Amino acid sequence: MSRSRTLLVAAGLLVVTATGSAPAWSAPPPSGLASPGMLAAMQRDLGLTTAQARDRVAHETTAHRTAKAVRLALGDRQAGMWYDAATGALGVAVTDQSAADQARKVGARPTLVRYDQRHLDQAASAVAALVDRDKPSGVNGWGTDARDNAVVVTVNRTTAPAGLSAQLRGLDGAVRVVETDSSPQQQGGDVRGGDAWTPGTESNCSIGFAATDSTGGKHFLTAGHCTNDYTTSQAAYGKDGSQLGVSGASTNGSTGDYGRVDVTSANWNLSAVVNGYGNGDITVTGSGETVVGQSVCRSGQTTQWHCGTVTQLNYSVNYGSITVTGLTKSDACSEAGDSGGSWVSGTTAVGLHEGGTTNGCHVTTHEAYFEPVNEALTAYGLTLYTGGGSTPPPATGCSGYQSSYSGSLTSSTTTKYEPNGTYYESTASGTHKACLTGPASGADFDLYLQKWNSSTSTWDTVATSNGSTSSESVSYNGTAGYYVYKVVADSGTGSYTLAVTKP
């Protein structure tokens, strides 16, 4: 007999099964809330109260779903998106009223702007061509600012030649120059995100995220400038000084800054944990992208745990000898040695720390850059190592499960909870497995497994499967407790079947 049972009574209260998207539970409904440590760091670094931090994470989760809908509805007819912390909504730049109307229909707040995305891309290319041709000193970096509908170039006024700012502005009306006094620099047990590791005899870097290859081989992602001696099979040492493996691959230049370390020692195990440095560790449940204005937090061995917001996407940073493109820029702080470390949003892995300005964390204005983690995973053919130590299997059919549940998602009901609108109790440790099958085409459904955290009275996401179709699967090895499956329609509508096996 299964040692799991559907929970119908909790704390002496009868649970009422709801017909809508939010069940009337005696406990709060599951959500994408961040861990207590992440919420505490957001309060410290973003100047928020506890309630404001919780609300922000919830609003950002909704904004991500809206962003996906905007991309489907508008394609290249939008000139950038951003999360507006003041309103909790997703903003989108458009150049005509028709696109504005469509954006509004899917829940975004449109702003009519002068330049479309193609014009902004051309302006950014003009800046890149000037830097590549003339190699002027003082150009820190450049990228599109969606909110300002401009290509913003950051220039160090103390090293730039006279007339450079005017020359840049003259390239295109969409170019805006911001002057500063600093320049960027690349910041050089268990495999745990944010912990220190040492490439050979060089200075320390930080671990990003653990990952596996198609044969089960163990690896972790980090910054490419930390693994640039990979051709010599440079030794990689853990924070305790023992060798954990070798540098296996490096990309550091115009296509990005990311690297792979091959974990060859049997004494080192992979972990889905990111070091919170006393603020509560994070267990990553999946990977994803960011939007401008979104809150993000980073972990690294030098400055440890800090949070900020995304300020620009697809940003180019000029280090003099090389220009690294495709980065995400934020206003979080960092210092040398944080390179390669983890960037997360909630329990989602979003990036690998790449570099930042030289003034560190002791001043009030910061810049830090990270490489989108999905680019590195794709480039090396790796799968992120996620919570519970089990990588979700591919959704190749839903046979052999203990039980199944059916439902449907509509334009007005985009979220359902299973089993049957409530949650269940597992009285023993073991593996929770689920396989979701939705519409064959025209829909994108995602699947989340959440567990009740009694110390914080919140539902924490412990496993995620959020591919681009409506077929998803998760596998999570967890302890006893209360669990629920959350089925979300990122786009489209239709019926689904969720097959489940409980411990």
- The type of residue at 401 is Y
- Torsion of Cα atoms, 202 then 359 then 326 then 234, to 10°: 0
Three-state secondary-structure class, residue 79: strand
Residue 301 CA to residue 204 CA, distance in Å, equals: 8
- The type of residue at 7 is L
- Rg of the chain over Cα atoms, rounded to whole angstroms, equals 23
- The residue behind tokens 């980090």 is 222
Residue 225 a catalytic site member = yes
Residue 119 a catalytic site member = no
Residue 432 CB neighbour total at 10 angstroms = 24
- Under the phi-then-psi rule, with left for phi > 0, alpha for psi from -120 to 50, and beta for the rest, what region is 318? beta
- Under the phi-then-psi rule, with left for phi > 0, alpha for psi from -120 to 50, and beta for the rest, what region is 373? alpha
Environment class of 441 (CB within 10 Å of its CB; exposed 0-12, middle 13-18, buried 19+):
exposed
Query: Does 439 sit behind a cis peptide bond, omega within 30 degrees of 0 on the bond before it?
Result: no
Catalytic choice (59, 64, 219, 225)? 225
Catalytic choice (45, 116, 145, 257)? 257
DSSP class of 455 = T
Residue 37 CB neighbour total at 10 angstroms = 18
* Bridge partner list, 109: 91
Residue 257 a catalytic site member = yes
Beta carbons within 8 Å of 215's beta carbon, 6+ residues apart: none
Please calculate the CA angle 160-141-221 and round it to the nearest 5 degrees. 140
Instruction: Please say whether the beta carbons of 37 and 456 come within 8 A.
Output: no
Biggest CA-to-CA distance, the chain: 79
**Helices 50-74 + 36-46 axis angle, to 10:** 90
Catalytic choice (182, 339, 342, 473)? 339
Q: 271: which 2 tokens?
A: 């972990």
Instruction: Please say whether the beta carbons of 308 and 332 come within 8 A.
Output: yes
Beta carbons within 8 Å of 179's beta carbon, 6+ residues apart: 154, 155, 156, 157, 160, 165
Instruction: Please say whether the beta carbons of 239 and 196 come within 8 A.
Output: yes
CA dist 167 to 118, 153, 219, Å? 22, 12, 45
Residue 370 CA to residue 28 CA, distance in Å, equals: 34
Catalytic residues: 225, 257, 339
